[in-house]
C-alpha cells in the first residue's frame, strides 16, 4: 500500500512539474516571416517575440536577414499586430537596443569622426565610405520609435520608427528627447538593419543615418491578461513593415496568410466539364468506329 501511495505521489509531482513547465513556456511566443524585396532583390526575414510578464508585454523585434542592406526599403521599420478578441489598452513604455546588438551609422557623416554621436535634432549629411558603431546594447531609442493601439483595418497595434502617415510625434515612446532627424518618427533613422548588413555599403538613402543592428526590445504596459496560458492563440494578425512608406515591402508570417477556398460549386462545375468532355470524346469515337 505504501508503494502505491509513493507512486501516486511521484506521478502527481511529475504532472504538476509538466504543467508548470508548459505554462512557463506558454507566456512567450514568436512569429517569423520571409519574403523578397522586389526593388532590391534582397531576401527579407524578420522575427518578433511577444513575452508577457505581469502587467507588461514585451515586443522583441529582430531583422534576421543575413543579406546586405542596400537601401531604405531593406530596413525593417515596424511591426503591426492584432488580437483575436482581446483589446487591451496598451501604453508605450520603453524601447532599448537589444542586448546583443549595436546602433550603427552606414557611412561616415561628413566632417565628423566615426564614433561621433549626432546631436539632438541634427541630420548628418550623406557621404563617406566607412560605417561606425556609435552606441551599444541597452541604448534608449524610445524617442525614435512610436506606438499606437488604435489603428484601423485588420491590425490594431503598431510599432514603427517611421511615420508612414500613421504615427506622429506624440506617439513616440519617449517624447522628451530626440536622437536624430526631426522630433518625429520620420524617415529611416533608427530603423532595424539586417544581421548580415555591411555598414560600409548602401545608397544615399541610408548613408549617414543611424540604424539599429539588429534587435530592439519594446515594453508595453497595461497588459491585463496575466492568467493567459497560450499566448500564440491570442493573435489574429502579425505583419512586418519595411522602409518609409506603406507601399514598400511588408511580410506576413505564414500562419496569418489567408487561403482562399474554392467554392464547392466551382469544383463541381469543373468536374462536370471534364466528364462532359470525356462523354463527347467517347461519342465521337463510337461514330468513327461505326463508319
Q: Which band of pLDDT confidence, cut at 50, 70 and 90, is reported for residue 229?
A: confident
Report the candidate in 251, 232, 228, 256 with the shortest Cα–Cα distance to residue 241.
251
Segment 149-158 mean pLDDT? 93
What was the pLDDT predicted at 116?
A: 23
Domain map of the chain by residue range?
Answer: 27-279
Model pLDDT, residue 224: 84
d(CA 224, CA 88): 7
For residue 30, give the C-alpha cell.
514568436
42-51, 105-114, 138-147, 273-282: lowest mean pLDDT where? 105-114
pTM for this entry = 0.74
What average pLDDT is seen over the chain?
Answer: 75
- Is residue 36 predicted with pLDDT exceeding 80? yes
What's the CA gap between 4 and 68, in Å, rounded?
A: 63
Cell of 187: 524617415
pLDDT at position 230: 80
| Residue from 133, 132, 159 nearest 50 by CA | 159
pLDDT in tens, 64-91: 999 988 899 999 999 999 999 889 999 9
Whether the pLDDT of residue 125 is over 50: the answer is no
Give percent of the chain above pLDDT 90. 43
**Would you say residue 221 has pLDDT above 50?**
yes
Amino acid at each position: 500500500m505504501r508503494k502505491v501511495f509513493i507512486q501516486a505521489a511521484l506521478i502527481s509531482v511529475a504532472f504538476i512539474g509538466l504543467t508548470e513547465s508548459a505554462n512557463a513556456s506558454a507566456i512567450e511566443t514568436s512569429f517569423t516571416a520571409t519574403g523578397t524585396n522586389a526593388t532590391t532583390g534582397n531576401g527579407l526575414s524578420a522575427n518578433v517575440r511577444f513575452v508577457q510578464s505581469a502587467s507588461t508585454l514585451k515586443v522583441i523585434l529582430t531583422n534576421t536577414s543575413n543579406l546586405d542592406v542596400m537601401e531604405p526599403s531593406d530596413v525593417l521599420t515596424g511591426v503591426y499586430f492584432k488580437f483575436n478578441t482581446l483589446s487591451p489598452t496598451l501604453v508605450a513604455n520603453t524601447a532599448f537596443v537589444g542586448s546583443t546588438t549595436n546602433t550603427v551609422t552606414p557611412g561616415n557623416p561628413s566632417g565628423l569622426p566615426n564614433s561621433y554621436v549626432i546631436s539632438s535634432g541634427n541630420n548628418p549629411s550623406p557621404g563617406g565610405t566607412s560605417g561606425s558603431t556609435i552606441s551599444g546594447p541597452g541604448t534608449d531609442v524610445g524617442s525614435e520609435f512610436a506606438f499606437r493601439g488604435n489603428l484601423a483595418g485588420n491590425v490594431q497595434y503598431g510599432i514603427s520608427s517611421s511615420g508612414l502617415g500613421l504615427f506622429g510625434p506624440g506617439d513616440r515612446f519617449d517624447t522628451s528627447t530626440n536622437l536624430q532627424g526631426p522630433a518625429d518618427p520620420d524617415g529611416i533613422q533608427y530603423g532595424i538593419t539586417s544581421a548580415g548588413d555591411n555598414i560600409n555599403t548602401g545608397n544615399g538613402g541610408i548613408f549617414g543615418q543611424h540604424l539599429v543592428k539588429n534587435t530592439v526590445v519594446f515594453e508595453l504596459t497595461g497588459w491585463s491578461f496575466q492568467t493567459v496560458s497560450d499566448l500564440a492563440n491570442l493573435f489574429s494578425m502579425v505583419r512586418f513593415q519595411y522602409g518609409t512608406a506603406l507601399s514598400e515591402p511588408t511580410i506576413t508570417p505564414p500562419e496569418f496568410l489567408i487561403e482562399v477556398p474554392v467554392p464547392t460549386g466551382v469544383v463541381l462545375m469543373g468536374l462536370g466539364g471534364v466528364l462532359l468532355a470525356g462523354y463527347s470524346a467517347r461519342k465521337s469515337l463510337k461514330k468513327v468506329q461505326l463508319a
